Chain A
Amino acid sequence: DQQVKQNSPSLSVQEGRISILNCDYTNSMFDYFLWYKKYPAEGPTFLISISSIKDKNEDGRFTVFLNKSAKHLSLHIVPSQPGDSAVYFCAATLSNDYKLSFGAGTTVTVRA
């Protein structure tokens, strides 16, 4: 039972433009959400997170938006850079146990 879904397996974007990655979840108890970035042959690295008490969190070029009523979050990368080419995983958890449920990932390719 996939509780976190990333319905777009891949995304291609031109350098300098905005990348928008989407994520949906089914468990309304989730109250903490994270995005991880993964390069080939490496482990995932933490990118940005958001608590359910907020609807937006920004860190440099990365912004995560949370729509609790729709059970939907998105990651915006502006501007996109070649080094952003990677797989991005959305994850959700209960903040009292931090057992992460991951989506299947979206592969982002930034074209020069």
Chain B
Amino acid sequence: NAGVTQTPKFRILKIGQSMTLQCTQDMNHNYMYWYRQDPGMGLKLIYYSVGAGITDKGEVPNGYNVSRSTTEDFPLRLELAAPSQTSVYFCASRRLDEQFFGPGTRLTVL
């Protein structure tokens, strides 16, 4: 049981490039979340999903897209990367009242 896994661990992008952050959970949780954490700040919700095929915006969705074709996977897509998207990205899944987080992806946009 690996829990929530995220790839890659680190990535450097140039301005205007695009990429997909991968997130997979093996706990069969319906709810999944994407957060970003900027230095000295708390985690902020980007997008979330309540099940396969259903996604919704969180607090800071601009510049991102998500899809949820299976229960296990919840990829986060960055189109036209900008320096403001430099952050650490965490994916999480939820069972009852507890969210389980992945180890994070550290993204730098130069």
Interface residues of A (CB under 8 A from B): 2, 4, 6, 9, 32, 34, 36, 41-46, 49, 89, 91, 95, 98-105
Contacts and interface: CB of A to CB of B under 8 A. Distances in A.
A89 B43 CA distance: 9
Interface residues of B, number: 23
Contact of A98 (B35, B90, B97, B104): B97
Contacts, number: 53
Contacts of A103: 42
A51 to B, nearest CB: 9
Contacts of B78: none
A32 B97 CA distance: 9
22 contacts: A32-B97, A41-B104, A42-B103, A43-B90, A43-B92, A43-B102, A44-B43, A46-B98, A46-B99, A49-B97, A49-B98, A89-B42, A89-B43, A95-B97, A98-B94, A98-B99, A99-B45, A99-B48, A100-B45, A102-B35, A102-B44, A104-B42
Interface of B: 4, 31, 33, 35, 40-45, 48, 58, 90, 92, 94, 97-104
A2 B45 CA distance: 13
